[in-house]
Amino acid sequence: MNRSVLYWRAASFAVAAGFVGLWQMIANQRLVSPVFLPGPDRAWASLVRGFTDGDLWGKLVGTLGHMAYGWFVASIAGIALGAMIGSSRTMRSYVAPSLEFLRPLPVSAIIPVAIAMLGLTQSMALFVIAFGAIWPMLLATIHGFAAVEPRLYEVSRSLHMSRLAVIFKIALPSASPDILSGMRLSLTVALILSVVCEILAGLDGLGHWVLLSARSFRSADLFAGVILLGVIGYLTALAMSVVEKRLLRWRSGGH
Amino acid sequence: MIPERVKALLLPVAALVALEIWARAIHLQSDSLAPPSAVAAALVGAFQDGSILIATRDTLVPAFAGLSIGGAIGLAFGIALGIFHVFDRLMEVTIEAIRPIPSIALLPIALIALGFGYRMEIVIVAFACIWPILVLSRAAVGGIEPRLMEVSRALRLSPADRVRKIIIPAALPRIFLAFRLAAGIALIVAVTVEIAINPIGLGAAIMTAQQALRPELMLAYLLWIGIVGYLLNTGLVVAQNHLFGRAALVRDPA
């Protein structure tokens, strides 16, 4: 069984390698102008060069930094606000409809407003990223709190637990699957908004770097940057799902 | 007891009234805020000179074109991957390698290859729309009652008929849900591309209003973008409930 999984994996990697080979062939035959499409060899060389004697590390750290700060602030604020709103029925019926109205708003539309308030600065980027990333977590936390098994609340009442104790001992653990999936979703949002803010405000990061490469028609650098952004997206999602499995291990054990 | 509907409206109305009073009291002069009455006036003005309608069209055309193209590609692959497990397993690494690329990262590539305008925006929207539809339609096809597939084999349906008569109808409610999520993504990506770089549509209009230091117009566009997003989402939810009724009650994967 395990062996066949391994074989399939290998075959799947072979198919992917085949596509890269195809890409190389198209580039070698110059079916598409090399100005637009560098071969994988050139993109790889540019990636290696950027990491050995270029400043690609700095750009990578810049983008990861924007993403992480914004996401972190959004996580704390989103879960705290969500807990506050979700744990009270009154708050829920007054606030939740407004939030539902704001949910489908394309969050990037807040960028001009943020620029008008804060200028083309680092704090503008952090505000935008945090604002965009907060929604999935906020709504997931509210939903998770609202969906707590009512009998658990009855138990907490008969045990005379304080409201804080109820939040930390009952509601948060019970809502944690919702919250974690919200956090995973907002990770993607944070990455996209980081790139957009870097492009707009010229902040140090991969978004700015790929735009500059495009403007000067350095397509190999451009593809290297895009590949790197894909790697960030993949690795952060992977890390999040590992954390999620870890934190939710208690759930599959009990029943 | 206050009815739920009134409770829902209380917060936004109170916030608007407070902002209006505050703005009037201090004679607000700002590049980023404006009293709600000025925002409303700017919105009406933008409707009267038609600029907001043109901008809305320039956003919705690429959003829906990208949604149809990306949706068609995603649906074709999703159904194929859901039916043929061999294909699914072989493509796994390739798909998982491309999928995490943030759609907006393709913007510079689309820019040098296609220039400004509808086309580059359509390409980026299409790329973003492929994945939710691919993943959800693959899951939808994979989740079809196996006995339906047995019936189709017993009836010796051709593969084309099997897709048309069994698979698509059975998976349709979940495919529509995927389509609804993708429509939201299409609008978000279209507006984002316009804000970042493409000089057409609502995103460009709101950036222009900001750069012209007209906060009331900027906020009017922000409000309008919110309304468009809300109407799109609500319309599709209503359509979903209307078309599929209880069959559509699958949990949002978001």
Note the pLDDT tens digit of each residue in A207-217: 999 988 888 88
Mean local confidence (pLDDT), A130-158: 87
Tell me which long-range contacts B28-37 makes (C-beta under 8 A, separation of at least 24).
Answer: B30/B215, B31/A116, B31/B213, B31/B215, B32/A113, B32/A116, B32/A117, B32/B215, B33/B215, B33/B219, B34/B215, B34/B216, B34/B219, B35/B216
Q: Within a domain: residue A58?
A: yes
Q: Within a domain: residue A109?
A: yes
* Distance between B249 CA and the closest CA of chain A, angstroms: 17
pLDDT of residue B92: 85
- Host domain of residue A106: 39-254
The total number of structural domains that make up chain B: 1
- Host domain of residue B81: 42-248
Q: Within a domain: residue B189?
A: yes
The residue behind tokens 């998770």 is A144
Spell out which residues of chain A touch residue B63, defining contact as CB-CB under 8 Å.
Answer: none
**Least confidently predicted of A126-140, A144-158, A174-188, B176-190:** A144-158
- Does A9 touch chain B if contact means CB atoms closer than 8 Å? yes
Question: Cα–Cα distance between B213 and B215 in angstroms, integer?
Answer: 6
Number of other residues whose CB lies within 10 A of the CB of residue A75: 20
Q: What percent of chain A has pLDDT over 90?
A: 22
Mean local confidence (pLDDT), B172-187: 89
Q: Within a domain: residue B145?
A: yes
Average pLDDT, whole number, for chain A?
Answer: 87
pLDDT grade for A252, boundaries at 50, 70 and 90: low
Q: What is the CATH number of the domain that holds A198?
A: 1.10.3720.10
Q: Within a domain: residue B4?
A: no
Is ipTM over 0.95? no
pLDDT grade for B205, boundaries at 50, 70 and 90: very high
* Distance between B90 CA and the closest CA of chain A, angstroms: 4
Q: Do the beta carbons of residue B59 and residue B190 sit within 8 Å? A: yes
Question: Cα–Cα distance between B197 and B172 in angstroms, integer?
Answer: 36
Q: Is the pLDDT of residue B107 over 50?
A: yes
Q: Within a domain: residue A75?
A: yes
- Does A167 touch chain B if contact means CB atoms closer than 8 Å? no
Is A192's CB within 8 Å of B192's CB? Answer: yes
pLDDT of residue A55: 83
Mean local confidence (pLDDT), B199-210: 91
Question: Cα–Cα distance between B210 and B190 in angstroms, integer?
Answer: 19
Is B97's CB within 8 Å of A15's CB? Answer: no
Cβ neighbours of residue A50 under 8 Å, at least 6 residues apart? A56, A221, A224
Spell out which residues of chain A touch residue B219, defining contact as CB-CB under 8 Å.
Answer: 113
pLDDT for B21-76, tens place per residue? 888 888 777 777 888 888 889 899 989 998 899 999 999 999 999 999 999 999 99
- Does A230 touch chain B if contact means CB atoms closer than 8 Å? yes
Considering only CB atoms, A12 lies closest to which of B89, B206, B254, namely: B89
Is A226's CB within 8 Å of B109's CB? Answer: yes
Pairs across A and B, CB distance < 8 A: 164
* Distance between A63 CA and the closest CA of chain B, angstroms: 12
Is B188's CB within 8 Å of A106's CB? Answer: yes
- Does A11 touch chain B if contact means CB atoms closer than 8 Å? yes
Q: Within a domain: residue A6?
A: no
pLDDT of residue B1: 61
Q: Is the pLDDT of residue A5 over 80?
A: yes
Q: Within a domain: residue A19?
A: no
* Distance between B194 CA and the closest CA of chain A, angstroms: 10
Q: Is the pLDDT of residue A255 over 80?
A: no
Q: Within a domain: residue B109?
A: yes
> Roughly how many angstroms between the first and final C-alpha of chain A, as a whole number?
27
The total number of structural domains that make up chain A: 1
Is B90's CB within 8 Å of A225's CB? Answer: no
Q: Within a domain: residue A225?
A: yes
Q: Within a domain: residue A240?
A: yes
pLDDT grade for B253, boundaries at 50, 70 and 90: very low
Question: Cα–Cα distance between A207 and A209 in angstroms, integer?
Answer: 5
Could you give phi then psi for residue B143, rounded to 5 degrees? -90, 10
Q: Within a domain: residue A43?
A: yes
- Does A113 touch chain B if contact means CB atoms closer than 8 Å? yes
Q: Within a domain: residue B37?
A: no
Spell out which residues of chain A touch residue B8, defining contact as CB-CB under 8 Å.
Answer: 93-94, 97-98
Q: Within a domain: residue B25?
A: no
Q: Within a domain: residue B1?
A: no
Mean local confidence (pLDDT), A233-241: 90
Mean local confidence (pLDDT), A25-40: 83
Considering only CB atoms, B93 lies closest to which of A15, A185, A223, namely: A15
Q: What is the CATH number of the domain that holds B62?
A: 1.10.3720.10
Mean local confidence (pLDDT), A17-46: 86
